[in-house]
Structure 1
Amino acid sequence: MKQIISIILSIFLLVSSTGITYAQHYCGEFMMMEKLTFSEAQLSCGMAMVDDACGDENEEGHDCCADQYTTISTDDNFAHATYDFVLNDTFVAGFISVFVLEQVLSSKQELLQYSEYNPPPVLKNIQVLYETFLI
């Protein structure tokens, strides 16, 4: 359940930061067209070309068609993530000397092999003597 809520909130944050707009086109009182866009797009039903379709001819500039836009965006309180990356001089010098220049102290010692060594013989079986067994 927490994962689903996290995914939904992540998608909502992504959509709100990209600025998706829901555009609706009304002719009179009826919605004729709706569309999701990234900016305000001009929607048309084709009635703007007809002069007498709007009713009153006496009013100048009367337009019966209207577009309504609903934009999803973040508010002023939203702060984008900023990162301040400061390098320490000691860290940079150590990183360069160890990984870039490969000046790591390496001592080559001969491996001593004890292939001829035999352990001493067991005189007593200590586990049986003290009755301590690993289970």
Structure 2
Amino acid sequence: MALNVLASTFSFAVAQHYCGEDLVDFSFFGKAESCGMDMQQPSDSHQHKLQKKQCCDDETLSVQGNGDLLLSVENLSVGEHQFLVAFTYSYINLFEGLQENIVSVVHYPPPLLVKDIQILDQTFLI
């Protein structure tokens, strides 16, 4: 169940660089590197009107996680606050140890051994 919650809230992005129709590079953590064939912007103002079609293309695939699972303490009602405080107090006190170690078999002596049971049953610890 925890893996399901983690998978539903996880978001990521993949950057891809295509040269023509071939995938040249992809990156999970940053921008994909160029193949070096990108067209440079012309310096002449006359050539701005005549631009050629670029052969390279950058695409970004992004998947957004579910952000609805984030809870805010300000949105809780009074009854929910009381339940949260009572649950926390009882959970913390659940693990407190006893003040003294109570052993109930101190007053009862062990039975006397009439015969050695291990030798009779031939069970030996190795």
The normalised TM-score by structure 1 is 0.40
Larger Rg: 1
Q: 1 or 2 for the larger relative contact order (CA 8 Å, sep ≥6)? A: 2
TM (norm. structure 2) is: 0.42
